[in-house]
Structure formats: C-alpha cells, structure tokens
Amino acid sequence: MDFHDSAPEASFRSEVRAFIAGQCPPGIRRRGLGAMFGGGGWDDIRLGTEAYRQLNADWAKKLADRGWIAPAWPQEYGGAGMTVMQQFIFNQEMAAAGAPKGGNYGIGTGWAGPTIILYGTEDQKQRYLPPIVRGEAIWCQGFSEPGAGSDLASLQTRATKDGDDYVVNGQKIWTSGAHVSDYMILLARTDPEAPKHKGISYFIVDMKSAGIEVRPLVNMAGNHDFNEVFFENVRVPKENLLGEENRGWYVGTTTLDFERSGIATSVSHGLMVRDLAAFVREHRDDDYVSKSRALRHEIADRAVESEVEQMLCTRVVSMQNRGLVPNKESSIAKLYSSELDIRIAVTAMRALGAYSQLRRGSVRAQFNGRAESAYLYATTSTVGGGTSEIQRNIIAARGLGLPRA
C-alpha cells in the first residue's frame, strides 16, 4: 500500500504549509508536547493577553477568508468544501505547525454547525452558520446530565410547549466552555410519556437567555473548562427547534457521529514522542535519563504506537474518502488514540523526572509545564465522546458479532 501523497495531494500540502509558515504568527503556535491538551482553548480565552487575543483573531480572520475555519463545510455555507483527504492533510499540517484552528474551539465547526447544515431550516442556516465560519461564535453542547451520560437517552431536562416558546427546566453537566459560549445545542425531553428515545427534541439555545445559570466545575488539573448548567423556566422560541419535535434523538446521534469521527484524527502524538526523544537526547548527561534502559524502551514503544495510531486514523479517513461509513473502525481508532493519550502522558512524566512536577510559570518548567497538566488531563480522553467501555461494546457487537451486554 502506498501511503505517499498523490501529486495533487502533495501540492495541496505545500500550499497549506506555505500559508501557515507565512501567515501564522509564531507567538500563538503550540507544538509537540507543548501543545498537549491541557487547558487549551478555554484557558487561552481567559488568560491570553490582549495582544495574544488580537494575534489569534487576526489569524482566525486569515483562515476565515479562505474558508479554512470550517474546511469540511460546503462552500455555500462559508467552508472550503475540502475532500476528506484534504481535511486530513490540512489537519496534519496545522498540527505539525502547532497552528490554532481559529475562533470557536471545535464544537461550532466540528459538530453543531454540521448538524445545522443537515437539519436546519434556511433561516437557521442563515442566522447561525456565518458567525461560526467567521470564527466569532462559540458553541457548547448541553447533552450530558447527572443521570445520563453513556445512557444519554435517559435525560430528564424538560422542554414544555407554551405558546410560541418552549419552557426549559433541568440541569446539564460537564458542559465544556458553557461559561464563554454564545449558543448551546441542547437535548431536552418534550414527551415524557413516549419511549425514552422518542420523546426528545433538539434545540438551539441563546446562552444569554434569562433563567440560565452556569456554575463552574474545576477539574483535577485545576482548570475551569467544564460547567454545570441550570435551566429555570428558560424560554426558547419554537423557531429554535432543530429538526422535528420528538425526533431529536436522531438529530443528536448525527451530532455524536460528527463528534466521534473528529476525535480519532489526532495527529499530534508522533510530534509529542519526537519532543520527548529530543528532551532525553538533550539530557544525556543526566544519569537517570541516560542509564534507564526501561525509559528508552518505553519511548520506543510510544513511537511504535503513535505510528499504529496513524494507520488506524488513515484507515478511517480513507474509508470516508471512498464514501464508506466507518463504524467499528472509528471506535477502534478512538479507543486506541485516547488510551495512547494516557500512555504518552505517563511516559512524559517518567522521562521528565523531577521536572515533570513543575507547572506553567516556573522558570525550570519544561514544555511550559504541560507534561503535568497533560498527565492530569489524559484520563478525560477515555471518557469524553463515549467512554472506552462503550467503544469496546461497539467493537464487540458490531465488529465481532458478539451478543450485546
């Protein structure tokens, strides 16, 4: 099998690389270990200086002018209409350069917007899509509840019709970025008498609506990324219903498909392993690092695994490129990728030795203190977007034909 770029793919790769090199300011780039997830976008929104935020906004505008904030979207909606393979190349080059994706931190471009493209009315598309592709609107996702995560269809938040509005009451949890978001995609129960999958509707909610209270949840890395969101008699106009009333479950599963197909496309693990190897080479005089055969083997293992991950992701992308719908293949890639996240973070802690405990801000911190935060964050990869157990259930049932648990 030939994994090299075709001639048009190579030329597209050069175009993206040259654009990033010429236009993306070094001050906003995050590379390798330094780019490992650890209070990423939300952190920058809150902590970035005015100058930093301006650089980010200028970069987002340059991306937006090319439709590259939402490269996968059709051009008529402000995207670049890239093929799946072009998106893969684009994402690889952006990750390799540590270039931020621009404005809206994933949910808007990754799965809220694409769901609106599929299910939205013309008015909804005109209203909500342009601010996303300009990198201006931030979206959050109100799906999970205290009693509904893996079993999402058990959700209890109610939306009751009242005149031209729905009135929403209930609670969401783990809502990433709700504290900085303009809009939420919300799943709420509109028919409590119907079987659980059939009484749910899907709404677009303006986060400035009266009756919404966002309370912070601070994670174990000490960051405020996700939240609890409480709804008390929140009026949502009926034109904010996305798709048909009581058919929201099916709209929601489309959103989750978009979310999961993006998760497996991580291309940064190889760069992290490369950074770790460079750190060890630079510290060859350090007894612990140079004499630890186990550490050398561990880093070699991570290098092998990140190549395996690339193959698994390439398989998903090449299926999508041929119009096939990956199913167990996405679950295999998501499972492998998220568990590799943890293994790389553990290896990074071991390789950095005592440095690993130094946080961002310390003069001796390596990689801006991100090994430590990556270690604390890594466990979340195997939970968000469907836990590892749920992925294994899918692989067992759909991939191997084993009976459902």
Ligand X SMILES: Cc1cc2nc3c(=O)[nH]c(=O)nc-3n(C[C@H](O)[C@H](O)[C@H](O)COP(=O)(O)OP(=O)(O)OC[C@H]3O[C@@H](n4cnc5c(N)ncnc54)[C@H](O)[C@@H]3O)c2cc1C
What span, in angstroms and rounded, lies between the C-alpha atoms of 204 and 315? 34
**Strand 158-162, strand 165-172: pairing:** antiparallel
CB of 5 to ligand X, least distance (A): 33
Binding mask 154-193 for ligand X (x = CB under 6 A): --------------------xxx-----------------
Look at the block and give the residue holding tokens 């009756």: 211
Residues 63-82 that bind ligand X (CB under 6 A): none
Catalytic residue flag (residue 259)? yes
Told to check if 104 binds ligand X by CB under 6 A, we report no
**Residue closer to ligand X, measured from CB, 91 or 141:** 141
Beta bridge partners of 185: 141, 204
- Of 339, 266, 276, nearest to 303 by C-alpha is 276
Q: Does 301 bind ligand X (CB under 6 A)?
A: no
What is the Rg, in whole angstroms, of the alpha carbon atoms belonging to the chain? 22
Which residues, 115 to 144, sit near ligand X by CB under 6 A?
140-141, 143-144
Residue of 360, 318, 90, 386 whose CA lies nearest to 221: 360
Torsion on CA atoms 255, 261, 262, 263, rounded to nearest 10: 110
Does position 393 bind ligand X by CB under 6 A? Answer: yes
Shortest Cβ 186–ligand X spacing (Å): 9
Quick one: 65 or 213, whose CB is closer to ligand X?
213
Q: Classify residue 274 by burial, with Cβ atoms within 10 Å: 0-12, 13-18, 19+.
A: middle
Residue 387 touching ligand X (CB under 6 A): yes
The SS3 assignment for 109 reads helix
Other C-beta atoms lying within 10 Å of the C-beta of residue 46:
12
Q: Which of 145, 259, 305, 309 is catalytic?
A: 259
Q: Among residues 59 and 111, whose Cβ is nearest to ligand X?
A: 111
Footprint on residues 325-384 left by ligand X (CB under 6 A): 380, 383-384
3-class SS shares of the chain: helix, strand, coil, % to 5: 55, 15, 30
Rounded least distance, CB 294 to ligand X, Å: 30
In residues, how long is the chain? Answer: 405
Q: Which of 76, 301, 307, 389 binds ligand X (CB under 6 A)?
A: 389
Amino acid 62 reads K
Question: Smallest distance from the beta carbon of 158 to ligand X, in angstroms?
Answer: 17
CB 265 within 8 A of CB 317: yes
- Contact between 149 and ligand X by CB under 6 A: the answer reads yes
Nearer to ligand X, 39 or 78 (CB): 39
Q: Which residue is nearest to ligand X (CB)?
A: 149
Please, which residue, 237 or 384, has the CB nearer to ligand X?
384
Q: Report if residue 226 touches ligand X, rule: CB under 6 A.
A: yes
What token pair was written down for 185?
């995609």
Query: Of the listed pieces 68-76, 263-271, 362-370, 388-396, which binds ligand X according to CB under 6 A?
Result: 388-396
Kindly state the smallest distance separating residue 388's Cβ from ligand X, in Å.
6
Q: Which of 136, 153, 156, 152 is nearest to 144 (CA)?
A: 152
**Is residue 250 a contact partner of residue 243, using CB atoms and an 8 Å limit?**
yes
**Which residue, 167 or 390, is less far from ligand X as judged by CB?**
390
φ and ψ of 71, to 5 deg: -60, -25
The set of catalytic residues is 259
Which residues are at the interface with ligand X (CB under 6 A)?
A: 140-141, 143-144, 149-150, 174-176, 226, 380, 383-384, 387, 389-390, 393, 405
